[in-house]
Amino acid sequence: MADPVTLGKRVALVSVGVSASLAVTKIIIGLMAGSTSVVADGLESAGDVVASGVVLFGFIIAGRPPDEKHPYGHGRYETLTGLIVGMILFAGGIGICYRSLQNVGAVHAPPALYGIWPLLASMVLKAFLSAAKFRIGRRIFSSALIADGWNDFVDILSAAAAITALGLTIADPSRFLAADHYGGFAVGLIVMFTGIRVSKETSDRLTDAMPERELVQQIRKAAKSVPGVKDVEKCFARNSGLKYYVDLHLEVDPEMSVKQSHELATEVRFAIRHQLQWVADVLVHVEPWTDAAEDSPLANRK
């Protein structure tokens, strides 16, 4: 399998090409068919091009090796691009809402039926893209790729809203002529709320929120697999882009020499990194083990 950064760049590059093609197609056909909701969906796809481009840029920077100024690497640039994607979604949603309601009361000919085809194509292509980004993003721990997956999922919902609005307008123009405009407005609202969700999830990572409990338990299990380890008291992990950095408090036999405990700590460090590819490095603090060790309020035991 390609390394996470290379894989992420490939997915982002494909996404840019697909989104650009869909955006141009929907805007042109939407204008020809006289459909506000199709044009609004095309503008949302144009935002996808920018979002996927930002994600691609983030992966390029994240792939740089550590340096004197960034000893932990540049991985958080990848997470930062996920936050930017959320902000782009929110701002784009506001613009789509405004654009859709500009001429809501105007009298005009109903949109043409062929405006539905680019929307259907968008739903199919975005379903594949969204599923791929969610799967690969979770595999390589990429918040930016997952954020972009939500971006594509929004396209599916927005295309469905646009199809519904377009269908109502065509079915009964005398009663639902404005439905096409309101459909575009609904697309904008969906985009805005998704932008808020994506921004929150990426902000959690940027503020050193702990990973899921399951991941913490995997770290504990890997540490305890090393002979000589009595227990793991504290286990903290913080995200740095595609990897996690771990702080571990290891309990060992109190009669063990400093040299022996240091060697054991080194074994634990390498065991965790070997068993869990998503861990970049481990800082191990050695403590004496006792049967009646008091629970610390900061310790996250089982």
Q: Is residue 260 part of a domain?
A: yes
**196: phi then psi, degrees, rounded to nearest 5:** -65, -45
User: CA–CA separation, 129 vs 55, rounded Å?
Assistant: 14
Task: Give the domain CATH number at 277.
Answer: 3.30.70.1350
pLDDT of 298 reads 46
Q: What is the 3-state secondary structure (H, E, C) of the chain?
A: CCCHHHHHHHHHHHHHHHHHHHHHHHHHHHHHHCCHHHHHHHHHHHHHHHHHHHHHHHHHHHCCCCCCCCCCCCCHHHHHHHHHHHHHHHHHHHHHHHHHHCCCCCCCCCCCHHHHHHHHHHHHHHHHHHHHHHHHHHHCCCHHHHHHHHHHHHHHHHHHHHHHHHHHHHHCHHHHCCHHHHHHHHHHHHHHHHHHHHHHHHHHHHCCCCCCHHHHHHHHHHHHCCCCCCEEEEEEEEEECCEEEEEEEEEECCCCCHHHHHHHHHHHHHHHHHHCCCEEEEEEEEEECCCCCCCCCCCCCC
Domain boundary among 143, 175, 206: 206
Q: Is residue 299 part of a domain?
A: no
User: CA–CA separation, 296 vs 230, rounded Å?
Assistant: 17
Based on the domain organization, do 89 and 231 belong to the same domain? no
Closest CA to 166 of 38, 42, 28: 38
pLDDT of 104 reads 66
pLDDT of 294 reads 47
Based on the domain organization, do 63 and 163 belong to the same domain? yes
Based on the domain organization, do 252 and 272 belong to the same domain? yes
pTM here?
0.66
pLDDT of 218 reads 92
Helices 143-171 & 179-206 angle (0-180, nearest 10): 170
User: CA–CA separation, 202 vs 171, rounded Å?
Assistant: 42
Task: Give the domain CATH number at 198.
Answer: 1.20.1510.10
pLDDT of 224 reads 92
CA distances from 50 to 92, 126, 158, 214 (A): 11, 16, 18, 34
User: CA–CA separation, 129 vs 148, rounded Å?
Assistant: 9
Based on the domain organization, do 182 and 259 belong to the same domain? no
Q: Is residue 293 part of a domain?
A: no
Structural contact between residues 123 and 149, judged by C-beta atoms closer than 8 angstroms: no
Q: Is residue 116 part of a domain?
A: yes
Structural contact between residues 133 and 148, judged by C-beta atoms closer than 8 angstroms: yes
CA distances from 239 to 36, 198, 227 (A): 42, 16, 28
Structural contact between residues 238 and 245, judged by C-beta atoms closer than 8 angstroms: yes
Q: Is residue 296 part of a domain?
A: no
Domain boundary among 149, 184, 206: 206
pLDDT of 295 reads 47
pLDDT of 2 reads 62
**Residue range(s) defining the domain that contains residue 258:** 213-288
pLDDT of 291 reads 67
pLDDT tens, per residue, the chain with 302 residues: 567 778 888 888 888 898 889 889 988 988 888 877 788 778 778 877 877 888 888 888 877 888 888 887 787 887 888 788 888 888 878 877 887 777 666 555 667 788 888 889 988 998 999 999 999 888 887 877 888 888 788 788 778 877 887 787 777 777 776 776 777 787 788 778 878 887 887 888 788 778 888 889 999 999 999 999 999 988 999 888 778 899 999 999 998 898 999 999 999 999 999 999 888 889 999 999 876 444 444 444 44
Domain boundary among 206, 239, 274: 206
Instruction: Find where tokens 């390609």 sit.
Output: 2
Structural contact between residues 230 and 219, judged by C-beta atoms closer than 8 angstroms: no
